Amino acid sequence: MEIFILAFFALGYLVLAGGDIGVGMTLPYLGRSGAERREVIAAIAPFFLGNEVWLVATAGVLAGLFPELEGELLSGNYVLVVALLLSWIVRDMGLWLRGRVPGWRWAGFWDGATVAGSWGLALSWGLLLSHVLLGIQGPIALLPALVVAALFATHGLTFAALRLRGVLRERAAVLSGGAGEGRTYALTAAALAAVGVLAGLRLPLHPGTAGSLLVPVILVLIPLLVAAQGWVWWTFRHRVTGPSYL
């Protein structure tokens, strides 16, 4: 049961947050003016904070149910974990601060931070998954990391195609041709989940002793998280019609 819980949160994060990470990576392509970029960001505005909850939950499950694995991952990949956290902070700062001061220079700077942070997240995850899945480190690990980053970017484009309209949708739908956007999103989601599953199969998944106490609590919380996620998706199921609060 502990392994199922870890997989549930980790794969949920990759699939859900992979969309907003990919949108951030492709922001210069999708939005070619300040107004367009703001509308593109509106596509992920209702979701990105909720998606981050899945990462926090994954970290909590690791610490509580797999303390040995958490120690191995942190000690063996300290630089990557720090890079991932810094990229996360930079990306979120870009999203939150871009609209706080009028002026294109300010917005442009923080849009750049959003793009840089999104690429940092994708590459950090790519390097971490490459290390776990293939056991490689050093410069050669950049090759599979770039493949994973490209998968994030592709997933982001498919998510944007589901959320945007007009010319922005046409740019985002470059992979699906404007038709079958849902199927394309499902394929990229499945690909990200498959990478996560393959990496998980290489990990020494030995639960700790706190499972009897924590598992019942987590099993109660999972339906609440799923219900909240479903409510957000249902509430914001329509395409973006204008800029958001960001």
Separation between Cα atoms, residue 125 and residue 15, nearest integer Å: 13
Name the nearest CA neighbour of 154 among 7, 13, 3, 29. Answer: 29
Q: What is the pLDDT of residues 66-102, one digit of tens each?
A: 888 777 787 778 888 999 999 999 999 999 999 888 8
Under 8 Å CB-to-CB from 241, ≥6 apart: which residues? 165
- Residue 245 pLDDT more than 70? yes
Q: Is 57 exposed, middle or buried (0-12, 13-18, 19+ CB in 10 A)?
A: buried
Give the total residue count for the chain. Answer: 246
114-128 residue pLDDT tens? 999 999 999 999 998
CA distance 85 to 83: 6
Q: What average pLDDT is seen over the chain?
A: 89
Q: What is the CA radius of gyration of the chain?
A: 18
Residue 14 half-sphere exposure, CB side, CA atoms within 13 Å? 26
